[in-house]
Amino acid sequence: MTEPDIGTEPNAVVAAFERAKAGSRALLIGYWPAGFPDEQSSIEMVETMLANGVDAVEIGLPYTDPVMDGPVIAEAAEVALANGATHQTAFDVVAAVSGTDAPILAMTYWNLIEQFGPGAFAAELARAGGAGVITPDLPAEEAEAWVAASNTADVARVFLAAPSSTQQRLDVVADASSGFVYAASLMGVTGTRDSVSGDARELVARLRAVTDLPIAVGLGVSTREQAAQVAAYADGVIVGSAFVRQVLDHPDLQSARRAVADLAADLARGVAEGYPA
């Protein structure tokens, strides 16, 4: 197993996991689409999440063909795009909410980075204060250009591992990552679930055998109880659709923002409660 080539000091993403561990809890990572429902509102929602217990946030770049996203995030992306969201919207949102100990990451399909230019994307994100990038559809085996660009900009890389991944592929994913490894709890698209797949615990155990990087579990976590369940074996808990749907389910942004605050606080209690004694 090789060590991530990103410098001698822990990057901001790894440092956040270390702070959470020192506080005897898992890291709570939220997700919000840039520009949803508009740019200023997306900034306010992220600020609300961070003020109520979320430790790090993924800013999603809305995309016209979000094949890995479930209906909630896909609908949010449609709204954001209809309101004019672009790459620049995402960079502006990152810039507006960065500057604290909470790392802000971008989450984007590789096609958007490739169109923008890997080096230019990494540099622009770094200038905005972004700490890392999650690339859910970029195979780690084909990431040479992105590894070089992200190293140059000192931006952490996060690749996905799935329950179906072979042990050989987990090695490759772990070696290519430099922030944390995203363990998908199940095969499928994003969205809330009644329960978190039992495959997630096994996947985390398999990843622990090949990397010392933090491992965060996402897809399907939406409640305090589920967050506690995942925090019992993972270093981080990722929640996306449950936050985003608050805007879709509430009649106005003020009530949606209150719901986002309540959900963040509840999930924060969960990641602390579930942490192994």
Catalytic site positions = 58, 69
Give every CB contact of residue 32 below 8 A, 6+ residues apart in sequence. Answer: 42, 45, 46, 49, 57, 58, 59, 60, 243, 244
**What is the Cβ-side half-sphere exposure of residue 110, based on CA atoms within 13 angstroms?**
16
d(CA 169, CA 47): 36
d(CA 91, CA 94): 5
238 closest CA partner among 200, 212, 207: 200
Side chain identity, residue 187: M
At residue 99's C-alpha, the angle toward residues 63 and 270, to 5°, is: 75
133 closest CA partner among 120, 122, 119, 117: 122
Beta bridge partners, 183, equal 161, 217
